[in-house]
Amino acid sequence: MTTTPASPPIAEEAPSALRRPRKQVSRACDWCRARKIRCDNAQPCKACRQRNAQCTHKGVDDEPRTLPQALREIERLKQRVRELEAKLHSSANRVSIPTPDHISNFSSPGFDSHLATPLQTISTPAAFSSVSKPQWRGIYVDTARSNQPSYYGASSSFYFVSRIGGYLGKALQLPLADQAMQLPGPSKKVHLDAEARDGAEDPTASVNERPRFMSRSQEESLLRLFWEGYHCIFPVIDEVGFRKHYASLWEPSRTCRKPSPLVDIILALCLQYGYAYIPQAVTSSTEETSLDDATIAGRWYYRRSQSLLMADLESPSIATVQSYIFASVYLCCASFQNMSHIITAQAIRTAQVLGLHVEPPADLPHGERELRKRIWWAVWMSDTKISYKLGRPFLVDRAQVTATMFSDDIEAASYNGATLGSYGPNVTWLSYAIHNHQLFHTMMDVYDPLWGRFGEVISQTGLSCLYTDPDAVELCAKLLATKLPAIKAWVDNVPVELKMQRRGGGEPYSTGCLAVEIEALAPTWLQRQRVCLELTYHNVVINLTRPFITFYSHPGTYTPVAERHATTCVDHAVSFTLIMHQVVTESDLMSGWSEYFSVQWNAAITLVGFVLAYPIHQATLKARNALDKAVAVFDVFGANFAVSADAAAITRDLMAKADTLAGRLSSGITGEATAWGNGSGNDDGLAWLDPAQQDGFGQFMDWALSVDSFNSFERFFNPGNPADL
């Protein structure tokens, strides 16, 4: 019998009881969260009641606990971002660049410093911001006196020299030998050697042991150079007050005067400046010539001044700031650029400690208020000059300065019996300082947006070097073209009494290569001011336009504005050199050692760079002829200053190399130079133009720095240098 397997019984489905949904809690207590167990909204919760413990909800106070809270937090953060963006945009609008008309109002002929408003209403400053701005990267170079690298920005002459070095190395197709660029050891340590020779570990003690200071008659003779030279350029001393102070330092019973930091640094400056007037027989020595170089003449006075200043750091005075100003000038002329920059920073901080950056108290005498203003703006100008010269950040935020510009009226010029006086109804001995400061304010209003644009373009395009993209160069050139009219407006507002006329009826401050008229009947201080003001003007234009001298032209590209700026640059370098040569050879207005030697060097390397970059150009011939004049100027100074003789030698060698390259071009011998841009892979052939990437040419900068460091150049282009072959 077959049986059919019984199918499994079907379970009877009983309806399950409906469960109540678990009540959600916004946030479990700390104990339940840590153990990931169920919590409730009771306080304390059931789990904590069972374990008889405290129920806590510490956590993070502002952490969202529910989805709606999280959404509200997201919306709040978005709103905060919008508010901050609006605030940033508003801040950018407040620091917009002033128009040329705005600038011309500042330097108009009717400018009255008594009615002047604070500087921020005259020239809108670029306020310091916590938001970092993209920068055009500079270079790090070991100076001749230190193995520590120093930073030099892209606006500095050192950066331009490094570009020349890269170009020469590529054009000559031979690397520059390291040993050919190594400078003689003793000259690299000239300052330290001089100190060792003088036994200057303790300047004050050495003074007492070894009487190296001058008699009263000798010092007073040197001080006359100060009144005729530096005083009219840096009007920061009350002449009568200084003379009284100097007389009080001498006592009948003493053969030497009491030390004074201000008197000492001024005498050091006078010794340095007036070394050219001392007969060679007096200055010659059987010891190493470099140790007696004029650029470090007066170092004993400088050291004693610094020692005295260090003792009064906690209680500075107006004389402290004055001493720092002249110490910075002394170091600049001695080519200690880093030390000069550091001393300038000390001057700024000391001036701010004394409140010179704000409007002087109304209860002070008028003349004293004006003196405080002149001191502050001299400090500001020192910072501006050396910072843009070295390509480093400026130290003064103009938005925080409320001191108005000083006056050049007859009352201020004759205060306390000042002897220099006036020249006609429109010009006093203080007028030069007014217009010189206005020039640097105008320069800053051009420099800030220009270099800001450089940084933006490099950052946005991801360039390693600006010169790899001609469109980027042209874009920046167009911005500069809109700003340069402000410089022209400054020229138009300079009084005719402060301008050197041109022989043959040429326009003052022009670049027409006409000789200048040196008015023999004008006061010496006015003649010197005229020369210095025009030379400073040409130097400002050189530095603003020099970035547009390029050593490589991209086929098929056209950059007319950049090329115009390059031509403008060389025109002003030529004008500077011709004026300097004429003044040095036809008068004694610039015979003393001053910072204008370094400015002439700046113009000379600009001429060299242009001749190398543009061998076929309508301005090349006059640039080449101007280089001969520059060498002649260096030769004149070289009779007393070894560093100038070295500058003449290196300029001659660079001229010879430029002539060689020009000869190759005219003969059609270009070698591989025509293929510089034909690199393989990602190499654009132009990376060598970026000084930050010139590992093979890093030491090329030594010869340029050596101009600032008393080094000789004979080994750079010696016969054994393979680069000369």
What is the pLDDT at residue 117? 36
For residue 140, give Cα distances in angstroms to 213, 465, 698. 39, 16, 9
What is the pLDDT at residue 89? 66
What's the CA gap between 174 and 538, in Å, rounded?
Answer: 35
What's the CA gap between 17 and 11, in Å, rounded?
Answer: 17
What's the CA gap between 708 and 508, in Å, rounded?
Answer: 32
What's the CA gap between 294 and 640, in Å, rounded?
Answer: 7
Q: What is the mean pLDDT of residues 397-425?
A: 85
What's the CA gap between 57 and 27, in Å, rounded?
Answer: 8
Q: pLDDT over 70 for what percent of the chain?
A: 72
What is the pLDDT at residue 334? 85
Q: What is the pLDDT of residues 296-346, one digit of tens each?
A: 778 889 999 999 999 988 999 999 999 999 999 999 988 888 999 999 999
Q: What is the mean pLDDT of residues 53-75?
A: 69
646 phi and psi angles, rounded to 5 deg: -65, -40
- What is the band of 27 on the pLDDT scale with cuts at 50, 70, 90? confident
Inter-residue long-range contacts of 277-280, CB under 8 Å, 24+ positions, other chains counted = 277/225, 277/591, 277/592, 280/639, 280/640
Count of CB atoms situated within 10 Å of the CB of 36: 8
Q: What is the mean pLDDT of residues 228-240?
A: 91
What is the pLDDT at residue 279? 56
DSSP letter at 66 equals: S
Whether the per-residue pLDDT at 683 is higher than 50: the answer is no
Give the least confident one: 6-15, 32-41, 156-165, 477-486. 6-15
What is the pLDDT at residue 32? 85
What's the CA gap between 177 and 171, in Å, rounded?
Answer: 15
- What is the band of 21 on the pLDDT scale with cuts at 50, 70, 90? low
pTM value surpassing 0.85: no
Q: What is the mean pLDDT of residues 531-546?
A: 96
Q: Which of 628, 713, 657, 666 is nearest to 170 (CA)?
A: 657
Whether the per-residue pLDDT at 115 is higher than 70: the answer is no
- What is the band of 90 on the pLDDT scale with cuts at 50, 70, 90? low
Q: What is the mean pLDDT of residues 463-476?
A: 89
Cis peptide before 44 (omega within 30 of 0): yes
Q: What is the mean pLDDT of residues 665-672?
A: 56
Question: 501: which 2 tokens?
Answer: 């006329």
What's the CA gap between 44 and 35, in Å, rounded?
Answer: 16
DSSP letter at 173 equals: T
Q: What is the mean pLDDT of residues 2-13?
A: 49
What is the pLDDT at residue 555? 79
Question: 150: which 2 tokens?
Answer: 């120093």
Q: What is the pLDDT of residues 589-605, one digit of tens each?
A: 887 777 888 899 999 99
Beta bridge partners of 422: 428
Cβ proximity of 314 and 292 under 8 Å: no
CA 393 to chain centre: 7
- Which are the contacts of 74, defined by CB distance < 8 A and separation ≥ 6? none
Q: What is the pLDDT of residues 686-709, one digit of tens each?
A: 333 344 444 434 334 444 444 444
What's the CA gap between 556 and 128, in Å, rounded?
Answer: 41
Whether the per-residue pLDDT at 131 is higher than 60: the answer is yes
Whether the per-residue pLDDT at 723 is higher than 60: the answer is no
Q: What is the mean pLDDT of residues 86-92?
A: 66
For residue 57, give Cα distances in angstroms to 43, 53, 73, 203, 254. 10, 13, 20, 70, 84
Specify the residue for token string 């504005």: 561
Element spanning 423, H or E: strand 422-423
Return the sign of the alpha-carbon dihedral for residues 439, 445, 449, 455: positive
Q: Which residue has the higher pLDDT, 505 or 224?
A: 224
Question: 258: which 2 tokens?
Answer: 């009491």
What's the CA gap between 616 and 125, in Å, rounded?
Answer: 41
What is the pLDDT at residue 661? 84
- What is the band of 53 on the pLDDT scale with cuts at 50, 70, 90? confident
Whether the per-residue pLDDT at 88 is higher than 50: the answer is yes
- What is the band of 63 on the pLDDT scale with cuts at 50, 70, 90? low
Average pLDDT, the chain: 77
Q: What is the pLDDT of residues 555-575, one digit of tens each?
A: 778 889 999 999 999 999 999
What is the pLDDT at residue 37? 82
Q: Which of 390, 383, 208 is nearest to 300 (CA)?
A: 208
Question: 308: which 2 tokens?
Answer: 């005295």
What is the pLDDT at residue 703? 44
